[in-house]
Amino acid sequence: MNTPIPAEDERLFAYPQDRSCPWQPSPGYRGLGEQGPLHRVRLWDGKSIWMVTGHAQARRLLADPRMSADRSRDDFPAVLPRLDAPIFKPIAIIGFDPPVHDIHRRLLAPDFSLKQVRALRASVEELAGRLVDELLRKGPPAELVEDYALPIPSMVISELLGVPYDDHAFFEAMTNGLLQAKSAQDAEAAGQALWDYLDGLITTKEREPGGAGVLSRLVGQVDEDGDLTREDLVRIALALLIGGHDTTSQMIALGVVTLMEHPDQLAALRADPGVLPAAVDELLRMVSVTDVSGVRVATEDIEIDGHVIRAGEGVLVSSSMTNRDPAVFSDPYRFDIRRAGGHNAASGRHHLTFGFGIHQCLGQNLARMELEVAFSVLFDRIPDLRLAVPLDRLPTRGGGTMQGVHTLPVEW
């Protein structure tokens, strides 16, 4: 349950609001950000929470142990109707506080290390190359979500987890159903179908131990009285399968749009491939694909910048706005791939697209590598790529926090 809203707050800013440009936040958020770092906003159910648009305040709050990520708490805010579905309460890792969070994260960390991700790079390059071969073979126009942006992260996460890619049409459709659901009931139905599928897959792996992938490795560590129960494992599989492909595919799609619409920046990137990692971080900063760095509930009163966040009040950190805090990023609405400071979280000039603190994205090394490969292979092989529809006619996803496009028609 969210905090009841006093009658005088009924005219509070309504969250979320749709974008009008794929790489810029809603104009309403911009207006809010200009008023200060912390705001009360009104959710779909009429309840109010805090929205954080200041970078320093976001870092302080996301690093504060008095902020809980526990989705099973009654006072945890449901930012969208679908997030009221029981399947999200709790969701593995991201929705747990220490000590359970830390135990499960430690179990998974080796599979997402920089070393592990580097070892995967050549096979992702080969995959992207094959997908471009196929695009070129079919000829323009092409549909870039279905034929490029989605298959890359979807195949990579399937391989990493040990989920058969042959089942991709099913798990992609269910993920879409879960993340685009307009109601808790629809989200629950899609989530339950995914749960049953992964539960069955884990049963197969229990019967045939020794297979490849994270799930086969973890099956051997299940202990009902220990750190990893079988239910934990299904929850982890669900979180990784969903988290591992939708965000990255939409980031590839919106990143491609952003580059195509800034030909000077694309030319600079093609002229100096050394700038690729910085360009990927600048795209992550600008696009802020999830629009949210984290949602929490305060477990005690917290004083910050002259405000008091009361125990039981919800807090949402906006990545699109903290990534445009003028105290940290100069000329923040300008896309500039040579902007410094994207990657080093300790510098304090880091974008918050992957969150901050103990829940900072586990898959960020993997996502960065997939993005680097996806952009470089695509624009190396098809330098004249352009949108096949006007920018304002792109079928964008609306009504949520996760930004994206349903399809991305391109030609060359």
- Residues forming contacts to ligand HEM in the complex (CB under 6 A) are 69, 93-94, 105, 157, 239-240, 243-244, 247-248, 251, 289-290, 293-294, 353-355, 359, 361-363, 366-367
- Token pair listed for 113: 């290390």
CB of 157 to ligand HEM, least distance (A): 6
CB of 71 to ligand HEM, least distance (A): 10
* Residue number with CB closer to ligand HEM (87 or 366): 366
CB of 373 to ligand HEM, least distance (A): 13
Return the DSSP state at 24.
B
Is the torsion defined by CA of 86, 191, 198, 398 positive or negative? negative
* Residue number with CB closer to ligand HEM (135 or 236): 236
Half-sphere exposure of 23 toward its Cβ, with a 13 Å CA cutoff? 23
CB of 100 to ligand HEM, least distance (A): 11
* Residue of 205, 153, 133, 91 whose CA lies nearest to 374: 153
* Residue of 66, 38, 1, 17 whose CA lies nearest to 300: 66
* Residue number with CB closer to ligand HEM (373 or 388): 373
CB of 390 to ligand HEM, least distance (A): 26
* Residue of 103, 49, 101, 105 whose CA lies nearest to 70: 101
* Residue number with CB closer to ligand HEM (181 or 251): 251
* Residue number with CB closer to ligand HEM (135 or 253): 253
Identify how many contiguous H helices and E strands the chain contains and give both numbers. Answer: 14, 11
Distance CA 165, CA 177 (A): 18
Half-sphere exposure of 14 toward its Cβ, with a 13 Å CA cutoff? 10
List CB contacts of 77: < 8 A, sequence separation 6 or more: 2, 43, 47, 49, 295, 297, 314, 316
Q: Which residues pair with 314 in a beta bridge?
A: 297
Residue number with the shortest CB distance to ligand HEM? 363
CB of 223 to ligand HEM, least distance (A): 21
CB of 236 to ligand HEM, least distance (A): 8
List CB contacts of 130: < 8 A, sequence separation 6 or more: none
